[in-house]
A and B are shown apart, each in its own frame.
Chain A
């Protein structure tokens, strides 16, 4: 039995401990904001937070989240819009929108480790998140704007 807190709610899971967290979130909890893109941690669409740190939920097995706190895009929005979400809306970042939950989760984690990120920081920490619509320059601008918003 694996116990885990997802978006503040205590959960328990007694299925396959090798199952990636992504499918637990989507197929078992119905938290579909986290997306499937590649299944091998190459695109970042499935990015969620494990104790605040960005992880690719498509390759992290359930056994690795025992006893931790997992936050998804739905959890981020629970207490009103996060500054990163506000910046995403202000800069009209999304096109199709499919990758953007992962981008936002990655950007929030990035700003935690680099509150005033340089272009190199953004390249380094966002290059694992693919956007096929090609919204990268707005992502970069929104991250910089959100970093200026932060106290």
Chain B
């Protein structure tokens, strides 16, 4: 449910627009409860929540508020273009304005690949509403029926009399009109769309290329100090004592300051520690090295990845919490026919956003302003308010551009650090995380063990299927007693769209010992790796072609109406096996599956899934060289994400996802020893470089009129299984544990 209000007189966009401008606000009830719990309260849901503002200036400039964050996801270009299309605005006269954190916008959590999916309809409505109001203003002035008005680019025309007025001229009159009912709105037919479905460059493209785009670390305030923080190496650790005499002798260093440890659950709170305050970043880094802290590490000091791996694997082998059950898996297993089982393992992953966490805060007179590259400005607002001790209305969270997000910047702990320090010092403070801080103090993707078992018929097709995973849950970040997954089980893991009569899905219990969070494509990083590897193993076991077998296991084209008690289906996005089969067939066809003559040491592998309601399949070609190094000459990816707002940028997202997935597969591994993270920078947490990334990723976007679905994440998690399946085709070596850097391939 949504509605739009005329807020021209209500002071929004103050200082930006003149008195005569037309300003529309819209609000809706958030449909999705994936918000970080601290901001997802009943009060938030009940209050007035405008989520978009559209302003038309008297000079014809169109202001469109971007309430979601831009981190390379492209939503700050795509969403305003949807508004502009229904409005018939000239894209060259549109100014995109970043919104501050404010619950009136509805959910601003830029996560779950959801910006377009959740706001496409509302953006169209906002544009169509403004256009109708401009029509009504013109009709009144010209004494003609509204139905005779039509729009051109930024103009309203009346063909019979040849009259025409610009949007700028009509804005003052339109701003005094009531907002039309939704039933009265006229939406453009698809064939009249100007921008939707057409390729567009990013709004910030030129600024990025000339070095003018503003990221978190680029914010500078008068009188600002710089902080670098020594944090407890073990989660929950506390400062026992510290010495800073040597640190204070470093030129440019001013003082040290204690940051209190969090109160469990840690959520978005800082870890605590000792901050070194200096006149510039370098002095802060140098001084910090000389602080000597004695830590009280606490119980998480028992966390050792080698040991924990065994515990997780054990949990995955034992009966767990049943989250879905169809038919009778045990009866089928008990028949004693052919069976196949396998175990998979994926370690913790770090986000390693190109821009390490950074934030600037200015606390004065019980007012707080923070500038932060965040995916979750309302979470920052809420957590900063609590930490500083002011009402959240007193906290303004300015969102800068993000140098990557990947889920890390859904957690605003670094912004809270800056606010706490600014309050202590009475000066604006910039907290700068080093790369080492970023790798060692992340909210990691959970480590996971996955167990799969199938009973097979005479053709090697499963008659019963058991899938069970064990991982410390992300919910532990918000609830210290959490032992089972929640978000992790959603989507393709619980949907398990296999043509198998007996199916059971279980989740093993595990406890978290480090901070956990979402990471691009989240649980599918381990679930899809396991399932799509397992399917290829079953094909090999049956002596069948992996592509033919994959299509067989999904079964015939059909709509699956799954009714799983705790996981209600998303309205408008039925699980369509026909679409899943189609992307699989397109990717295989384009890759020349079965036809393409491969060189020595080359192999093809395939994997496919539905994720964020988008259907995606990738075929990876790998070359395994004599010493076991791998080269990826080509990936073919087919995508059905429904209506593509900016097809060129959809391609770019999947090209990038192929590289991200390659990093996960090749070298993604975070481990802990005695509770402390072992890795620290790109030399021991390597990510794919230009010579290691796929040489060419071809992306085929299926032309579709279905509602738009997510494109940021789905492409990542098909890559590791497709790559490992390709390695199997090339070498006969099966990889059940990531990353590849742990294995000798030759």
Task: Identify which of B204, B282, B655 contacts A137 (C-beta below 8 A).
Answer: B655
Across the interface, name the chain A residue whose C-beta is closest to B70: A96
A30, A40, A77, A100: the one contacting B681 at CB < 8 Å is A40
Instruction: Across the interface, name the chain A residue whose C-beta is closest to B224.
Output: A27
Answer yes or no: A68 CB below 8 A from chain B CBs. Answer: no
A97–B690 CB distance below 8 A:
no
Q: Is the beta-carbon distance between B690 and A38 smaller than 8 angstroms?
A: no
CB contacts (< 8 Å) of B352 on chain A: these are: 132
- Which of B85-93, B413-421, B693-701 is found at the contact surface with chain A? B693-701
Q: Tell me the smallest distance from the CB of B394 to a CB of chain A, in Å.
A: 28
The one of A39, A98, A127, A135 that contacts B652, using a Cβ cutoff of 8 Å: A135
Count A/B pairs, Cβ under 8 Å: 188
Instruction: Given the known inter-chain contacts A35-B217, A96-B402, A123-B690, please indicate yes or no for A101 contacting B211, CB distance below 8 A.
Output: yes
Q: A9 in the interface, Cβ–Cβ < 8 Å?
A: no
Q: Report the minimum CB–CB distance from A66 to chain B (whole Å).
A: 17
Given contacts A35-B355, A95-B656, A97-B208, contact A137 B694 (CB under 8 A): yes
Cα separation A110 to B435 with both chains bound (whole Å): 26
Count, chain B residues at interface, CB 8 A = 69
Among B384-392, B584-592, B657-665, B735-743, the stretch in contact with A? B657-665
Cross-chain contact B282 with A132 (CB below 8 angstroms)? no
What CA separation (Å) do A97 and B344 show in the bound complex? 35
Nearest-CB distance from B195 to chain A (Å)? 16
Q: What is the minimal beta-carbon distance from A151 to any residue of chain B, in angstroms?
A: 21
| Cβ-based interface call for A52 (8 A) | no
Assembled-state Cα–Cα distance A122/B690 (Å): 8
Do residues B205 and A94 form an inter-chain contact, with CB atoms below 8 A? yes
| Distance in Å: Cβ of B283 to nearest Cβ of chain A | 8
CB of B403 within 8 Å of the partner chain = yes
Given A129-B690, A134-B660, A134-B693, also A38-B435 (CB < 8 A): yes
Closest to A139 in B: B690
Chain A neighbourhood of B218, CB < 8 A: 32
Determine if A96 and B659 form an interchain contact, defined as CB atoms under 8 angstroms apart: no
- Minimum CB–CB distance from A30 to chain B (whole Å) comes to 6
Q: Using A19-B282, A27-B281, A32-B218 as known contacts, say yes or no to A133 and B656 having CB atoms under 8 A apart.
A: yes
A55 at the interface (CB under 8 A from B): no
Q: B690 near A95 (CB under 8 angstroms)? A: no
A38 CB, min distance to chain B CBs, angstroms: 4
Is A74 at the interface (CB under 8 A from chain B)? yes
Q: Which residues of A contact B217 (CB under 8 A)?
A: 26, 32, 35-36
Question: When A135-B655, A137-B695 are in contact, do A23 and B282 touch as well, CB less than 8 Å?
Answer: yes
* Cα distance, A88 to B207, chains bound together (Å): 12
Chain B residues lying within 8 Å of A104, measured Cβ to Cβ, are 209
Alpha-carbon distance between A101 and B204 when the two chains are bound, in angstroms: 13
Q: A23-B281, A96-B403 are in contact. Are A140 and B690 (CB under 8 A)?
A: yes
- Taking a contact as CB atoms under 8 Å apart, the answer to whether A95 and B652 are in contact is yes
Q: Does B401 contact A (CB under 8 A)?
A: yes
Contact A98 B215 (CB under 8 A): yes
Closest to A77 in B: B210
B264 at the interface (CB under 8 A from A): no
Nearest CB of B to A56, in Å: 12
For the complex, is B180 an interface residue (Cβ under 8 Å from A)? Answer: no
| Cβ of B280 under 8 Å from chain A | yes
Q: Is the CB of B356 within 8 A of A95?
A: no
* B671 CB within 8 Å of chain A: no
Supposing A37-B435, A126-B690, A130-B687 touch, asked if A89 and B209 sit within 8 A by C-beta, the answer is yes
Q: How far is the CA of A124 from the CA of B201 in the complex (A)?
A: 29
Cα A23 to Cα B432 in complex, Å, equals 12
In A19-44, which residues have CB < 8 Å from any B CB? 19-20, 23, 26-28, 30-40, 42-43
A137 and B280 contact, Cβ closer than 8 Å, known pairs A36-B356, A98-B403, A129-B690:
no
A98 near B655 (CB under 8 angstroms)? Answer: no
Ordered by A's residue number, 21 sampled pairs between the chains whose C-beta atoms are within 8 Å are A26-B281, A28-B280, A32-B217, A33-B212, A43-B682, A77-B210, A77-B211, A81-B209, A94-B72, A94-B202, A94-B204, A95-B73, A95-B202, A96-B72, A97-B202, A127-B690, A132-B404, A132-B406, A134-B657, A134-B658, A137-B693
List residues of B whose CB falls within 8 A of some A CB.
70-74, 201-202, 204-206, 208-215, 217-218, 220, 226, 251-252, 280-283, 285, 352-356, 401-406, 432, 434-436, 648-649, 652-653, 655-660, 662, 681-683, 687-697
The 10 closest A-B pairs by CB, nearest first: A33-B211, A134-B659, A98-B403, A96-B72, A95-B72, A73-B211, A97-B208, A134-B656, A123-B691, A32-B218
Extra 15 A-B pairs, beta carbons < 8 Å, given A85-B210, A94-B205, A134-B662: A16-B251, A27-B226, A30-B220, A32-B211, A40-B681, A40-B682, A76-B211, A94-B202, A94-B204, A95-B652, A101-B211, A131-B690, A133-B656, A133-B659, A134-B656
